[in-house]
Structures are given as C-alpha cells and as structure tokens.
Structure 1
Amino acid sequence: MSDSSTPGDGTPFADVITGHADSLHPEGVDWDPNRQAFLVSSTRHGTASIVDGHGRLTPLVTDPDPRIVSTVGITVDVPRNRLLLGYHDLGIGVRSTPETNLKASGMAVYDLATGEEQFLVDLALGEEPMHAADRIALDQDGTAYVSDPAANKIYRVTVDGKAEVLVDSQTLSPGWELGTGAGVIGLRVHSGGFLLALHYTTGLLARVSTDTGEVRQVELSGGPIVGGDAFALRADGSMVVVSNALANENGEDAVIVLEPADEDWSAAKTVHHEKWPEKNPTDVLPTPHGDYVLSGRPEYLFRGETADDFVLRRIV
C-alpha cells in the first residue's frame, strides 16, 4: 500500500477520511490524477466536489442544470479533460418534483478543470415507466457505458453524446420484473474489451460484449453478491466489490474481493469477504494511496433526514 503524501503539506492520506458539507450525501467517487484528489457526486444537491486527503472540500460543479436533481456515478476522463456524471431523481434531492421523479435521467458532461457544463445526454430511453441513470464506465476511446437500475438497462454513449440501448432488462436478468428491486448498478470496462456488470437485487455478475451487447453470466463460486452496489478492477486483475442493504434486506454492508478464473471472466471466486464498519457503502476506488470505500450516509435521505458528513475509509 502506498504511503504517498497529499500535495501541499506532505502528510500522508489517513486510513479514514471524513468530509463535512451541508447534506452532500455523495454516492459516487473517482480519482482526479491532475489534482491528486477525490471527486464526489451529490445525491442531495446534484453537484460535484473535490475532496483532498484530509477531507477538505472544494466545490467544482456548483450550479447544475435544473434537469439534474441527483448526481450519482462520477467518472474522470483525463485524455479529453471531461468529467462525466450520471444523474437521476429518486425523490430525495432538493429539486425533486413529481414530474422529474424517476423520469429525469441522463449523463452530464463537464469541463474537468473548470466544472463548466458542456452538454447533457438524455437517457430516459425506451418505454419503461421508470429511469435512473447511475454508474458510468469509460472506454479508452471515450465511449461511455451507463447503467440504469430502474429500467435495468445499459446505455452506450459516444463522445459527442449520441446514445443508444446496448442491453435491455430481459437480457441482463431474465424473469426480473420491473419494480421488484434495483437492477444493474455496478459497471466497469475490462481491458479485454468487454463490460462487467453487477445486478444489485439478484447479485448476478455478467460479462457484456461492448460490440453486440451479448451477455454471459459469470459463475461465482461464493454465490451471488446480493446488494452489490459498485465495484472496481484492480491492477492485479482482481475485483473489489462493495455491498449494502440499502435497497435489499438480504444485502449486507461488506467488501468482497473476487479473482477471475481466466482473463475472460467466465468464472470467479471469492478470496476475501469482510463486514464493513460504515453503513451502506456505495462505491470503491483504487488510488495511489490505497483502495478507498465511500459511505455517504444515504440511509438518512430515505428516511427524510440529512447528515453533514461522509466517510472515505481505506481497505487495509
């Protein structure tokens, strides 16, 4: 594990980084190598912020488009100097309305350096009554793949903002009925040229062709990861997953590490499983300072309350 220091004062990143902001409730986190800092989204305000190794927060996207209620997935695109944010409305953002609740859904593109909006991509695609664009996986050519756990779809978005459905609900999870729980949330592009996608309710892990949308289930020796919210692919080829019970009582607050049986991810085995000390972790991020798990206190919002802190805890 790296013991690199934060820019400026030379002190190392702490194992537990606590951020403080007025009801920020971040659900997604990514690493900005230019700033050597975290970037986080905001379920409550639809913004994006910079967080340093001490938890000090600097706003980046401060006045989002009115169509953006909650920002969730967040992805840094360094080669194109872009920041990508998945947005939706689950009725818990300050600007939620009956007209936008589970309707407003898309991906917002910003200038990474300034936070200036470039354009929005509407991802309420198809005839499903509910949409909630969430996590964003980025390919080397700038193509973005966006999960939608409400419609249970994966969208493909080109660099210039043209969007289409890559995979639909029946392909991802046959028999899954709309409204019975969250669909696919966690999503990453594998260097082998395919997507890995995690279904929150069923715990299914799937391998998805970026060309055809063909889906193959990954055989999990440790069983399905029910409540699996997000995951990251490590440099050593393993996958680290965070799960919670936020929207599924059968889930648990945990960190799970998987190792693939082969480069194609036809199967994988659990090599580490630990209960997580923070409630409802929603994202995990490898950084030069170790792997950090984000807990943004989402349970407060779902019971009509707010909290003014969030935690990034290093996996040790």
Structure 2
Amino acid sequence: MSKLMIGRRALLTLAVATGSVLVLPAQAGATQAGLPAVISASAAQLHPEGVAWDPLRRSFLVSSLRHGTVSVVRPDGKVRTLAADPRMISTFGVHVDAARGRVLTAYGDFGLGVRSTPETIKKSSGIGVFDLRTGRLLHLVDLAIGAGDHAANDLAIDQAGNAYVTDPFSDAIYRVDVHGRASVLVRDPRLLTNGIGMNGIVWHPRGHLLAVNYATGELWKIPLTNPAALTQVTLPEPLVGGDGLDLRPDGSLTVVTNKLSAPGRVAVRTLRSTDGWRSAQVTRRAEPWADTEPTTVAGTPHGSYVLDGRLGTLLAGKPVDTFTLRRLG
C-alpha cells in the first residue's frame, strides 16, 4: 500500500472522529471512482428535502417529506431506510454529527406527508436524533414552543454537538443540547417577514450562525455569545428562495435558491466574506441549475452535491419516485 493511500486513510479517519467535512487533494480518477457526477435515485414517493454526507457508509443520507424518514442513498442510487419514528410526519434538513455517531433531522408537517392530519399540520415540530450506525432513536425533541404555527426546517451542529434549528413559521431560532434539552436561542421579529421565517442555517467555527430567510433572501449572522446582537449580512443581491446552505472548508458559503414557494431563482451561488460576514460577495454562480427544483447541498470528499427531491411535483399533488443528486462542478 502506498504512503499516499495510508495518508488519505488517516485523514479520513480524523475527519470522521472530528465530524468535519474533508476535501482531499484529487488523485487521478479519484472523483470519477468515488462518486458519479449525477446520482439518479428511486424510492417510493420519498421526496427528500434535506441531504447530508455519511462518512461511515461513504453514501448520502436524505430526508422525506412524504414518509418522515432518514434514508441511505448509495452512489449507485440504491435507497434504504435508516431511521424512522411514527411521530415524524415529514423530515426536512438532515445533518451528521460524526464525532458523536449521530444523525439529526428536523421534522414538521406541511400537509404533504402520508400521515398528515389536521392535528399535526403546522403543529408538529422538532428534531429527531438517531444513532448513525444503527438508526436507533436517541432523542425526539419537541420544538413547538410558544403559540402559533410551527414546523422545524433545518439545523446546524456546532463543535460541542449542540444543534441550532430554524422554523419558517417562527421568529425564533432554537437550540438543542447534546442531551436533547431545548431552548430558544434568539427570538427577533426581524426573523419573520410576512409569515415566513428562517430556512437554511450553518454553524461557523468562529462562533456564529448564518441563516437565510426564504421569502426575503436576507442572510443573518447570529453570534452565539450574544444572539440578541444578530446583524443582517450586506449582500449585492437578496437570496430570495434561499433554501439550503453549506459552509465549505475554504470558508465560502454555498447557497441553493429555488422558486418553490417564493419568486426566487433556480440557482446555486457561492458567497465569500472578507470582513467576518458583515458583508459578502457572490464569487460563483451556477444559473440556471440543471435541475428545476433544488433545495439544498452537501459537501463530500468528492465535491458538493445538490439535491433535487422533485418537491414541485409533490406540491402539485403528483408525487413521483425519483430524485437527483448532482455535483456542483
């Protein structure tokens, strides 16, 4: 075995232990052999909204608006269920906490799940925490905190394993510690505009969150030492339809926008900041995106992959069985 192979294996082991997303130097044929540029998958009316890279299986994990599950998607497109709980009607954002061997998913109910009921639509809200290896339930955390509608949408995980959760029907961002204890991290009326709140969210290792409002395209920076001192990031253009975010190893931010429920653009942008995210510039743009209904993106050792779970067809009342993961070139 070559020294290069030994070194790469050691780096991968370190990445799993720390929960980081590792981008390795390219070898000849490594990208082609590791993952195909496009993964076409099929599972009965799965309609995934969220995606994460699973370093244990070297596969993807996806959520399901129809079934409220977390499923493994292999590079060949084969799908199997990893985690489920009947109390999760629809699952949205999904993230891996490799350092603690967990997978976390936001759950709610927009009325699109096979188990949706009048009692759960816009009332069911929380995160499910599962063992990454076995899919065993560790915690189911209720986040329907306070009056009004609720439906947790996305989450980010910090180095200590705390989760930060958005809810498009709320003016709050929630915090769930590693023991499953929930609290309101910050509540601010500026996070809710015309009934639409925050969507995609990431944790930045410099101690703050970045989160986007789907309807307005505003990007917010929330310092964890003083969340009430949140500030709006100055952008050259609003990220209307801003859905999934991914903080890349080089410090840039990938933003997926769509027009599923807002007059957004079907695009994938890369933003970079030189002033600690007081402002940011668009440094790369893939528009129009090759798929018409992208929602989010996941970093892998073989590049970033954008998910299209065919949510537009589901919203139109015509569920399908196919979805796509496409590499951002």
TM-score of the superposed pair, with normalisation by structure 1: 0.92
User: Of residues 136, 141, 148 in structure 1, which corresponds to 2:160?
Assistant: 141
Task: State the distance in 2 between where 1:27 and 1:109 align.
Answer: 17
1:36 alignment partner in structure 2 = 58
2:321 alignment partner in structure 1 = 308
Task: State the distance in 2 between where 1:60 and 1:293 align.
Answer: 21
What value does the CA root-mean-square deviation take over the aligned residues?
A: 1.6
Give the deviation of 1:118 after TM superposition: 1.4
Give the deviation of 1:170 after TM superposition: 0.6
1:282 alignment partner in structure 2 = 295
- Give the secondary-structure state (helix, strand or coil) at the position aligned to 1:220: coil
- Give the secondary-structure state (helix, strand or coil) at the position aligned to 1:267: coil
Which structure 2 residues correspond to residues 142-221 of structure 1 after superposition, within 5 A? Answer: 142-172=161-191, 176-178=193-195, 182-213=196-227, 214-221=229-236
Gaps of 5+ in 1: none
Give the deviation of 1:65 after TM superposition: 2.6
Give the deviation of 1:66 after TM superposition: 2.5
User: Of residues 116, 119, 122 in structure 1, which corresponds to 2:142?
Assistant: 122
2:71 alignment partner in structure 1 = 49
Give the deviation of 1:134 after TM superposition: 1.0
Task: State the distance in 1 between where 2:171 and 2:56 align.
Answer: 34
Task: State the distance in 1 between where 2:300 and 2:101 align.
Answer: 19
Asked if structure 2 preserves the Cα contact closer than 8 Å seen for 1:293 and 1:314, the reply is: yes
The one-letter code matched in structure 2 to 1:96 is: S
- Give the secondary-structure state (helix, strand or coil) at the position aligned to 1:299: helix
- Give the secondary-structure state (helix, strand or coil) at the position aligned to 2:166: strand
User: Of residues 275, 279, 283 in structure 2, which corresponds to 1:271?
Assistant: 283
TM-score of the superposed pair, with normalisation by structure 2: 0.88
Give the deviation of 1:106 after TM superposition: 0.3
Give the deviation of 1:216 after TM superposition: 0.6
Query: 2:245 matched to 1:231?
Result: yes
Give the deviation of 1:5 after TM superposition: 5.4
Task: State the distance in 2 between where 1:281 and 1:2 align.
Answer: 27
Aligned residues: 302
Query: 2:313 matched to 1:297?
Result: no
Task: State the distance in 2 between where 1:81 and 1:307 align.
Answer: 32
- Give the secondary-structure state (helix, strand or coil) at the position aligned to 2:206: coil
Cα deviation, 1:137-169, whole Å, max 9, x if unaligned, reads 000001100000111321011111111111224
Query: 2:100 matched to 1:72?
Result: no
Task: State the distance in 2 between where 1:55 and 1:5 align.
Answer: 19
User: Of residues 91, 102, 127 in structure 1, which corresponds to 2:111?
Assistant: 91
Task: State the distance in 2 between where 1:206 and 1:123 align.
Answer: 21
- Give the secondary-structure state (helix, strand or coil) at the position aligned to 2:112: coil
Name the CA shift for 1:204/1:239 in 2 (closer, same or farther; >3 Å).
Answer: same
Percentage of matched positions with identical amino acids: 47
Name the CA shift for 1:76/1:298 in 2 (closer, same or farther; >3 Å).
Answer: same
Task: State the distance in 1 between where 2:216 and 2:37 align.
Answer: 32
The one-letter code matched in structure 2 to 1:109 is: V
Cα deviation, 1:258-291, whole Å, max 9, x if unaligned, reads 11122x2111011122210211211111111111
Gaps of 5+ in 2: 1-24
